Amino acid sequence: MALAGAIVGVTLGFADFAEGIARAEPPADPHADAIVVLTGGPARIDGALQLLAEHRAGRLLISGVNPNVSSGEIAGTVRRDLRDDLKCCTDLGRRASNTISNAVETRDWVAERGFSSLIVVTSNYHMPRSLAELEGAMPGVELIPFPVPDPQLHLAEWWRDPPTFGLLLKEYGKYLMAKARHVLPAGMQPVMQASATSG
């Protein structure tokens, strides 16, 4: 009975997780001290730079930039009208290689600059896990999610599309691990971290 209850709970939790992502919309009028965007596609960076251009925050961190990628190469991937904002008001974080280290890199940047609120920009499917890691790394900072749609996902009927279903299921597992990492006893943290370093 206990096992059956656990299976039902996880199944319902996954359905709620997937529906939450499918319904997620960016806020209409977000404002914060700064913006962080987690790398993973040009749409994310364009979205973050657009917020910066609209003066919704004063500075932007692009977290997870490949050390071999120059600022000029990044500029070549974004819209021409956003390149001035990239040049003047953006910091490139090159230490992060996954969502866990994105949170650490962002925490250090926030502490160095004294920010107390952040607009968080990442793909819609990646947002729950990103918020879990960021909240765990800096619990005193206000986080405003700004999800960016992924055009390759069919979220309106996620249960009918095998690639979308598979991605959401994988992301749900990573999300549960991210939440667990911040409530488990310290002695279990290395095990959880080793299992969660793939994204």
Compute φ and ψ for 156, nearest 5 degrees: -60, -35
Report the largest interatomic distance among the alpha carbons of the chain, rounded to a whole angstrom: 60
- Output the domain CATH number for residue 100: 3.40.50.620
Strands of the sheet with 34-38, listed across from one edge: 90-93, 60-63, 34-38, 117-123, 142-148
Q: Is 146 helix (H, G, I), strand (E, B) or coil?
A: strand
For residues 93 and 39, the answer to whether their CB atoms sit within 8 Å is: no
Residues in the chain, total: 199
What is the Cα 186 distance to its own chain's centre?
24
How many domains, in total, are found in the chain?
Answer: 1
Provide the token pair at 79: 């819209």
Q: Which residues constitute the domain of residue 72?
A: 2-195
pLDDT for the residue numbered 185:
56
pLDDT for the residue numbered 110:
98
How confident is the prediction along the chain (199 residues), in pLDDT tens digits per residue?
666 676 777 789 999 999 999 999 999 999 999 999 998 877 899 999 999 999 999 999 999 999 999 888 888 888 889 888 888 999 999 999 999 999 999 999 999 999 999 999 999 999 999 999 999 999 999 999 999 998 889 999 999 999 999 999 999 999 999 998 887 655 555 444 444 444 5
Provide the token pair at 1: 């009975």
Provide the token pair at 124: 């819609």
For residues 92 and 71, the answer to whether their CB atoms sit within 8 Å is: yes
Would you give the DSSP letter of residue 144? E
For residues 27 and 47, the answer to whether their CB atoms sit within 8 Å is: no
State pTM to two decimals.
Answer: 0.88
